[in-house]
Amino acid sequence: MTRETITHRDGHVYEFGPQMDPVYEAADGESLTVETVDSLNGEIQADDDLLDAIPEEVNAATGPIAVAGASPGDVLAVEIEDVRVAEDRGRVLTAPGFGLLQDDPEIDHPATRITEVESGGAAGGDAADSGAETIDFEGIDVPIEPVIGTIGVATGGETVSTLTPDDHGGNLDTTDVTDGTTVYFPVFQEGAMLALGDAKAAMADGEMCGTGAEIAVAVDATLSVIEDPAVSPDRPLLDTDDAVKTVASAETMEEAVELANGDMLDLLAHDHGFSRTDAYLFSSLVGGLEVSQVVDPQVTARNAVPSEYLSLPF
């Protein structure tokens, strides 16, 4: 089978909802390439391109892609094989009313820094000897460790902006969503309707200023349907190969970590035959809670358990 390439020019969305019209129908098990534009549609190209407000159309997600055979109650597995930056610069920025420290009077809102892509780490720094690609932040080399910020499926009912994360995925801004990770989504609608975009060349856990180094990417992924899953997730799950992680979004971090921990207990109880009490006690000993982002309309957290203690049931 020829590998299909789906680009943002083929189709993109600014909302996830229950009814989504696919731009492509993938076979179950198909491997394809998805090309995305940066979260700001290429409008920020220099340090003096400033974002006076968050645009109404932000985080364009390429797709949706229907997956043949995916039905409500199934799980969609998105195996991310490679993420390549697809332009010569990223951009990290602040905007008024956005970001963790939006009320700090010593921080400029808006502000933009272009992060040029460099090869071989010429400007010195940690990645200098590796020959790997880096971005440059004011003379500091930062290795490119790309993150797919927005990735999700059609929702169970509500229609939400691609700026918002929830049980369908969406703007999860989770550093683990990168090459080598398989992301699992609950399927809410026929065909699942995967869409993704909003990538970063690098991003801190938390995404404090409101962005990473926003950049266009090309993603190689394989899409598979899991029917009759032994555990039915309510929210996205990750398998990074090193760890299994539950991912939950909510209005407060306290609510998000409670959901992520509760979801993890379901997996630990299933895998080990633990009571829910023993799963809870065990969850308090290994891995633990992690911050995805604290800046979107809902915040996102995860609960990680190292792979030596937990295998997913699919």
- Minimum CB–partner distance for residue 310 and its own copies (Å): 10
In the bound complex, what is the minimum distance in angstroms from residue 134's beta carbon to its own copies?
Answer: 11
Amino acid, single-letter form, for residue 65? I
Nearer to its own copies among residue 86 and residue 100 (C-beta): 100
Nearer to its own copies, 14 or 280 (CB): 280
Instruction: Answer yes or no whether residue 185 interacts with its own copies by CB under 8 A.
Output: no
Question: Judging by DSSP bridges, how do beta strands 217-226 and 75-85 pair with one another?
Answer: antiparallel
- According to the binding rule CB under 8 A, does residue 87 interact with its own copies? no
C-alpha distances in Å from residue 183, one per residue of 66, 127, 178, 204, 245? 16, 28, 9, 19, 10
Tokens of 166: 């929830």
Here the tokens at position 312 are: 């997913």
DSSP 255: H
Q: Which of residues 187-226 bind its own copies (CB under 8 A)?
A: 202-213
Residues 224-253 that bind its own copies (CB under 8 A): 252-253
Tell me which residue has tokens 């905007």.
95
- In this structure, which amino acid lies at residue 8? H
Compute the least distance from the CB of residue 49 to its own copies, in Å.
14
For 156, the token pair is 């169970």
Residues of span 253-272 touching its own copies by CB under 8 A:
253-254, 257-258, 261-262, 265, 272
Can residue 104 be called a binding residue for its own copies (CB under 8 A)?
A: yes
d(CA 158, CA 145): 32
Residue with token string 């229950």: 18
Does 314 participate in binding its own copies (rule CB under 8 A)? no
C-alpha atoms less than 13 angstroms from C-alpha of 131 in its C-beta half-sphere: 0
213 vs 223 by CB, closer to its own copies: 213
Spell out, one character per residue from 144 to 183, where the chain touches its own copies: x when CB under 8 A holds, - when not. Answer: -------------------------------x--------
CA 216/CA 305 separation, integer angstroms: 31
* 289 forms part of the interface with its own copies (CB under 8 A): yes
- Terminal Cα-to-Cα distance of the chain (whole angstroms): 25
Q: What residues make contact with its own copies under the rule CB under 8 A?
A: 92-94, 99-101, 104, 106-108, 111, 113, 115, 125-126, 135, 137-138, 140, 142, 175, 202-213, 252-254, 257-258, 261-262, 265, 272, 274-278, 280-291, 294, 299, 301, 303, 306, 308-309
